[in-house]
Structures are given as structure tokens and as C-alpha cells.
């Protein structure tokens, strides 16, 4: 029975080996994400800046970047925004957001941002919309879209 067990084990290994290799090859293709959602709600200038640096870098690497700005981070999308410039490039998170939009990224303020501030849609820079919960939740649930929060 020991030889029979060894033979069965060897047959099982041989039978499953190609399946394992196909699964490995398949998963490496899935690691390439083409679209991302970045949710930014922090009021910290450095956190906002890092979120924008990474968003722009992902866009440069070929990803379609969608940004959702909530709470005080929504201020980045205001025409009147004047933020603190960050070293080493001496740019503000708002300037980085504008660069992302020029590079083809999208940005929306949270649905609650405008009704809970003194701002209106007219106060937003061109290209920034107002997020609707059904569309945003669809992006968040999309298994092919990675979501990052800051």
C-alpha cells in the first residue's frame, strides 16, 4: 500500500502542476491595475500632497486615476484654494490636483461637501464634479479597481 500511496501522490502532483502554473500566470496579469480610486479626506497638507504625488505617479504609469475629495480635502478643488507649498518641488496639493486633471485624471467632491459648506458648484475648478453615491459605490465595489484612502 505504501507504493500505491507514492504512485497516487506522484500522479496527483503531475496532474495538478499545469493547473498551478496557469493560476500563477493568470494572477500576475491581474496584478496590473488600469483604474484606481483615491479617496482623500485628510486635512493634513502633507497627507494631501502625498495622495496627489501618488495619484500623479500612478497616472504617469498608465492608470486612469479617479479622485474623490471629501471634507476639508474638498477645498483643493476650489478656485479660491491657496495651500501651503510642499518641498521639494514647492507645489501645493491643489496644484498637483490640477496637474492630474490636465493629465486625464478625474476628480469629484463628495456629495456632502457643497451642501455642508458655503461653496457652490460654481466655486469648483473646471473639470471637478460632484460625486453621486451610486456611481462612487459602483467604483468602490468594482473588483478591477483598486481603492486607496488618505
Pair (138, 88) in one structural domain:
yes
Domain of residue 3 covers 1-31
Pair (59, 112) in one structural domain:
yes
Pair (105, 92) in one structural domain:
yes
| Neighbour tally for 50: CB within 10 Å | 17
Pair (115, 133) in one structural domain:
yes
Grid cell, residue 118, equals: 458655503
Domain count, the chain: 2
Pair (26, 96) in one structural domain:
no
What is the full per-residue pLDDT of the chain (150 aa) written as tens digits? 555 444 444 443 434 444 333 333 333 344 667 999 999 999 999 999 999 999 999 999 999 999 999 999 999 999 999 999 999 999 999 999 999 999 999 999 999 999 999 999 999 999 999 999 999 999 999 999 999 999
Pair (76, 117) in one structural domain:
yes
* pLDDT of amino acid 5: 42
79: Cα within 13 Å, side-chain hemisphere: 9
Pair (23, 50) in one structural domain:
no
Pair (128, 101) in one structural domain:
yes
Pair (7, 50) in one structural domain:
no
Amino acid at each position: 500500500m505504501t507504493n500505491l500511496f507514492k504512485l497516487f501522490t506522484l500522479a496527483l502532483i503531475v496532474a495538478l502542476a499545469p493547473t498551478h502554473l496557469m493560476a500563477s500566470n493568470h494572477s500576475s496579469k491581474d496584478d496590473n491595475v488600469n483604474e484606481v480610486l483615491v479617496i482623500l479626506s485628510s486635512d493634513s497638507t502633507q497627507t494631501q500632497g502625498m495622495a496627489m504625488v501618488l495619484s500623479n505617479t500612478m497616472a504617469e504609469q498608465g492608470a486612469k486615476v479617479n479622485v474623490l475629495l471629501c471634507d476639508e480635502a474638498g477645498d483643493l478643488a476650489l478656485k479660491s484654494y491657496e495651500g501651503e507649498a510642499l518641498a521639494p518641488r514647492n507645489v501645493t496639493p491643489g496644484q498637483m490636483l490640477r496637474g492630474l486633471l490636465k493629465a486625464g485624471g478625474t476628480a469629484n467632491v463628495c456629495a456632502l461637501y457643497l451642501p455642508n459648506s458655503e461653496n457652490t458648484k460654481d466655486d469648483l475648478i473646471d473639470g471637478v464634479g460632484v460625486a453621486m453615491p451610486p456611481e462612487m459605490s459602483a467604483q468602490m465595489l468594482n473588483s478591477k479597481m483598486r481603492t486607496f484612502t488618505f
